[in-house]
């Protein structure tokens, strides 16, 4: 069977990680798995998948250990179970199974799209297929928002103090209004408040903080033609220029090749 890293019908980004696995370990990967980042709106009441996410490639081990290597941080390896885990692998601290996995995440932790969750999901899929176990994926939704965009704002602020989420029950089906109402019952950091206020002033349909530790991100629901103006207003309102991700709401599924 042809090595996954050399199969031309597979997308280049999915072949890159198996190629890194082969280069590192001198053998082909048994499979490659992808999970998208997830935008958790309204405390997770609405979950939207993004095209950015996590990819892992690897093979099974017979000793029950979980060996993890990062494309992004190749010298910081992890062998679980262990009490010493590099920061990038922290979301996998409770994972277990006999496998060696090369991991790649194209989202900074705390940017607003739950990079840790994407990595856990991709690794969970790999362990399911390699060990014959089970893994239950969390559902996401497809929003009917023609002509609108979800503008995710990574403020670049990272704080170790936990940001606790206050309970919120949506009382409207208008996503923009619900986002703003959600924000008003939370305890946002100043940077998140600045983003939300600037977005609303520039014409966003709604905006709120996001919970994605250790970051302090935010999100705004914006008409597509207003995205440049809203981004400009937000950048002007904060001290550190943010990173932006613009999402066209749609349903994207996890992916595996074995």
Domains 4-139+251-257 and 148-247 share a fold: no
Domain range list for the chain: 4-139+251-257, 148-247
Token pair 């941080």 is at which residue? 73
> How much helix, strand and coil, in percent to the nearest 5, is found in the chain?
30, 25, 45
Comparing 139-143, 156-160, 181-185, 235-239, which segment has the lowest mean pLDDT? 139-143
Model pLDDT, residue 138: 62
- pLDDT band with cut points at 50, 70 and 90 for residue 102: very high
Per-residue CA distances from 207 to 64, 78, 199, 200, 242 (Å): 45, 38, 7, 7, 15
Q: Is 113 within 8 Å of 52 (Cβ atoms)? A: yes
Beta bridge partners of 175: none
CATH of domain 4-139+251-257: 3.30.230.10
Q: Is 33 within 8 Å of 126 (Cβ atoms)? A: yes
pLDDT, tens digit (0-9, with 9 covering 90-100), for 227-247: 999 999 999 999 999 999 999
Q: Are strands 66-70 and 99-105 parallel, antiparallel or unpaired?
A: parallel
Q: Is 58 within 8 Å of 95 (Cβ atoms)? A: no
CATH architecture for the domain at 148-247 = 2-Layer Sandwich (3.30)
Residue 176 in this model has a pLDDT that exceeds 50: yes
Q: What is the DSSP letter of 91?
A: G
pLDDT, tens digit (0-9, with 9 covering 90-100), for 64-80: 999 999 998 889 999 99
Model pLDDT, residue 140: 64
Model pLDDT, residue 218: 98
The model's pTM is 0.84
Residue 135 in this model has a pLDDT that exceeds 70: no
Element (H, E) at 211: none
Model pLDDT, residue 167: 92
Of 124, 184, 169, 176, residue with least CA distance to 149:
176
Degrees, nearest 5: CA angle 70-75-81: 65
Residue 209 in this model has a pLDDT that exceeds 50: yes
Four-residue CA torsion sign, 194, 196, 197, 203:
positive
């Amino acid at each position: 069977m042809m090595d996954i890293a050399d199969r031309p019908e597979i997308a280049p980004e999915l072949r890159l990680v198996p190629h890194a696995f082969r280069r590192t370990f001198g053998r082909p990967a048994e499979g490659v798995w992808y999970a998208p980042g997830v935008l958790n709106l309204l405390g997770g009441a609405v979950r939207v998948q993004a095209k950015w996410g996590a990819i892992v490639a690897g093979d099974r081990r017979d000793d029950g250990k979980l060996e993890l290597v990062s494309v992004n941080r190749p010298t910081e390896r992890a062998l679980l179970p262990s009490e010493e885990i590099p920061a990038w692998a922290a979301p996998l601290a409770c994972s277990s199974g006999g496998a060696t996995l090369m991991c790649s995440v194209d989202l900074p932790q705390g940017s607003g799209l739950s990079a840790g969750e994407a990595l856990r999901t991709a690794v969970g899929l790999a362990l399911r297929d390699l060990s014959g176990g089970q893994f239950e994926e969390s559902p996401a939704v497809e929003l009917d928002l023609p002509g609108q965009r979800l503008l995710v704002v990574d403020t670049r602020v990272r704080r170790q103090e936990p940001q606790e989420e206050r309970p919120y029950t949506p009382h409207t089906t208008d996503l923009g209004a619900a986002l703003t109402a959600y924000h008003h019952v939370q305890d946002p950091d100043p940077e998140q408040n600045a983003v939300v206020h600037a977005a609303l002033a520039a014409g966003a349909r709604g905006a709120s903080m996001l919970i994605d530790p250790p970051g302090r991100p935010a999100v705004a629901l914006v008409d597509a033609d207003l995205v440049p103006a809203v981004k400009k207003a937000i950048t002007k309102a904060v001290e550190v220029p943010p990173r932006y991700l613009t999402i066209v709401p749609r349903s994207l599924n996890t992916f595996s090749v074995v």
